[in-house]
Structure 1
């Protein structure tokens, strides 16, 4: 497994429980690290991301799996296997790869925004919405998709303002915002106002500060897939225009035989539960694939032995 988040660990769990030899290689850069808790995950709602991953690692190790804290920088084909190169030059060999390296969130270039990311600057109403309910929420537009985001946050608060920030909304969209009770500020945003280590407002280029205690943003999501260039697998633009991803079928199987993907690298919008489920599916299918390969090898060996016995 390249990547030790929910997808990678759940994929590993499926495989080690099938008595496969599994190594999870994790660079320690989880996407949700800034968040206080994981939400929308049955039985684990509100758990700190680091605690969830620690539990997952323990479960994988309980069945004999290994977890290595390291960064994979390249992968290449070597016969029927793969060679994986770590930062520092060490190489490892694997029959199959499950890549769960996730995405990098590219934030809007607004002064002070990155420092508040995952705290009072958020992006997902399902991940953070309940925690910011009934607060003064701003939505920073980077495309017309912000309208949908604003409507979702409007379910959670009666005080929502859209900051157009250069995005042009149609007359119909303006009518929808008004009908939903969402304010619209046309001016460009220049930065954030912070008081007592909390977001207190959104500053416009004309110097006006609009009081807000939460700002929802749209991020660009870039798949961490450069390490796969050596096997001819690259990230492509997502059809929804939200960033890049590595295409795969429903089980995570890519166009390169022997390589599966799961989690945000394959589905940038997947939450932790969906990522874990995708990892479990990929793990099960990888095991079945190995069973089939092992059977072909066993049949070939049996035939060769019978032929040798006849020849002698």
Structure 2
């Protein structure tokens, strides 16, 4: 979920004008780009550590590989279909102009077929090589992301990513069910941690690109509210997120590694959120608010928190 901060070109590239191997390379890269691999990286980072915790040790390598492959294809399917639906606004936004569809590297029809094929393959991979509960959860997450967030919420409400973000929480459940073939309270707590983490993370990015969202009439909260109002909500969600992260300790009866990490990481996140709020109260200029500081820290926070989830059973057995 890393933003593209560099300048982007609006030049379209026609694969037919490229030489043989260059054309193949660019087309493959375009299809991979449709899957949004940087987004998938973060989703997998909330899947695999939960598998370690559910196993209370190191899960079988084959199971991890099947879950990662199936999860990657499932998320890639949802992202590709999202690109098809959002291609009209992607052409106008600085952050998304270099995607495959705006650059005409892939046709909308080809991207649609690609997305559907990935959905079918991922469902079968997870169903046959992991279990059907995990397969069903992955399919539900993709469907929610496409039909609820992309088609309904994104262009209609400032709360789009609050509820649309539910789709990105499913990997915590899938990591658990891949090992146990059942649900329990610990993955639900981690699901809610990701749910509460999503608004601060995404609103910080949206604040950086609020002019882009305003230009295409996508009502992200930073487009409709002042920087101070957005930062205040970020602080509120951050406190709720940290409180929920600490709830895993009694719910899952963790060892000392996880709660110590949750306190330290959560404290640092709260400090950064409050500092951004103070800067936003003084000025509504992005150069003063510095929202990308919180955005980058939010990536590190979630990554390290879930690393602690994986390490806790390994270090406290």
Q: Which TM-score applies when normalising by structure 1?
A: 0.26
Q: Which TM-score applies when normalising by structure 2?
A: 0.26
Which of the two has greater helix per residue?
Answer: 2
